[in-house]
Amino acid sequence: MSLLFIVIAVVLVALIFDFTNGFHDSANAMAGPIATGALTARKAVIIAAVLNVVGACLSTEVAKTISGGFFDERLVNPSMVLAGLVGAIVWNLLTWLFGIPSSSSHALFGGLIGAVVVGAGLSSVHGWVVVSKVLLPAVMAPLVAGLAAAVSTKIAYRITRRTPSGRTNTGFKYAQAFTASLVALAHGTSDGQKTMGVITLVLIAGGFQAVGTGPHWWVILAAGVAIGLGTYSGGWRIMRTLGKGIVDIDTPQGATSGAATTATILASSHLGFGLSTTHVATGAILGSGVGRDGGEVRWGMARKLVVAWLLTLPGAAIIGGLAALLAERGAVGPVVLLVLLAAVCVVIWVVSRRNQVTSHNVTDSREVMVLASATPSTYPEDPRLAPAKGSGRAGGKAKKKQKKIKSGV
């Protein structure tokens, strides 16, 4: 009975992870188009969600391993997978709370590594693989995508410098919407199958599915729907950081950073050097700021993000390890772990409500506030961003909402 319970728990928690994966990575595709107004916030997440589900259903080859080469696959048992998933979910939620785009795959690997270390000792982890698959790509992805975006941006401005911007914007916005859609589709095919792989492997390990068979139809459907719902829910805090926090994206920059993101992701997934979609998208937006004359890049924010990327694997590993300590304790452990996970989710959600970021106010400010209790978003550096002047309708709506809240409705 306890094995069946663990397997059911893993399936549920894997779907929750899939959901957080969706809302964490929604911004990779759609932060740019929303920031430049190429797509409205609602439309953008609907397109991304549909393409994510389509992508997830298209992917034929489901991950056969979950270790990614980081540790010995044979050491993993279902309760370790449960603990690893918990670590990944908590890390994804924490980074979301602070509006930090971080790699969901790194969080998943980190969580699993932590659980395996607790269960089987430190020597079971291949340290060199961690360096070559995590540290190096985390540095190279923003460099490659950033360079592609910087050069493209420079060229785009040069070619159209005599053309009045009123005439160029439509074309650039269409291009941005198309490239963003490609990113969303590619994300569905690559990340949708990760969850399917985890669920299928645990079903096989538990003896509920024949060895060597592909995922059940309900696994494909559930994973697709979970990542689609996550994408649709938007992850607006990360959207704000990526769309407004690093660079003020102008329309041509939106198109070039979209092109650079798409080109780098497709090249990386077809030419054998894996790069994280999150790191690529962030790097491309950064590069589009570097490539524009007079473009302002907030390097402080960029530094913060790189630090967060480097912390993602160890951070998720620590949480995953702590979770594993609990999950291995007989029949009660996993139950306590699930209750704790639910509690952490609720606490983070409640804290996020203090300074909510929604589809209405996502582009109103550059900063994602967490602990500061001031309800209206503050505009510390640039008064032009205040909703009264800058972003008319959306800002007005947000204000009305806040008034409602204040008057106790």
Is 272 an interacting residue with respect to other proteins (CB under 8 A)? yes
Instruction: Label residue 98 exposed, middle or buried (CB < 10 Å: 0-12, 13-18, 19+).
Output: middle
Answer yes or no: are the C-beta atoms of 311 and 57 closer than 8 Å: no
Segment near other proteins (CB under 8 A), from 150-158, 227-235, 332-340, 400-408?
A: 150-158
Answer yes or no: are the C-beta atoms of 30 and 99 closer than 8 Å: no
State the Cα angle at 311 between 305 and 314, rounded to 5°. 160
**For residues 98 and 178, which CB has a smaller minimum distance to other proteins in the complex?**
178
String of contacts with other proteins for each residue 52-91, x by CB under 8 A: ---x--xxxx-------x----------------------
Is 393 an interacting residue with respect to other proteins (CB under 8 A)? no
**Minimum gap (Å) between residue 379 Cβ and other proteins:** 33
- In angstroms, the CA 208 to CA 222 distance is 17
State the Cα angle at 40 between 252 and 358, rounded to 5°. 115
**How far is it between the farthest Cα atoms of the chain?**
72
CA distances from 260 to 66, 90, 92, 256, 360 (A): 29, 31, 25, 6, 28
**Minimum gap (Å) between residue 171 Cβ and other proteins:** 4
Is 149 an interacting residue with respect to other proteins (CB under 8 A)? yes
**Minimum gap (Å) between residue 262 Cβ and other proteins:** 6
Q: Which of 25, 31, 56, 57 is nearest to 44 (CA)?
A: 31
Segment near other proteins (CB under 8 A), from 121-129, 345-353, 381-389, 396-404?
A: 121-129
Quick one: three-class SS letters along 57-69?
A: HHCCCCCCCCCCC
Is 276 an interacting residue with respect to other proteins (CB under 8 A)? no
Q: Which of 36, 256, 278, 361 binds other proteins (CB under 8 A)?
A: 256
Q: Which of 1, 74, 164, 211 binds other proteins (CB under 8 A)?
A: 164
**Minimum gap (Å) between residue 280 Cβ and other proteins:** 9
Q: Which of 186, 201, 301, 323 binds other proteins (CB under 8 A)?
A: 186
Q: In this structure, what token pair is assigned to residue 407?
A: 């008057």
The one-character DSSP state at 385 is G
| Residues found near other proteins in the complex (CB under 8 A) | 55, 58-61, 69, 126, 128-129, 132, 136, 140, 144-145, 147-149, 151-153, 155-156, 159-160, 162-164, 167-168, 171-172, 175, 178-179, 182, 185-186, 189, 252, 255-256, 259-260, 262-264, 266-268, 270-273, 275
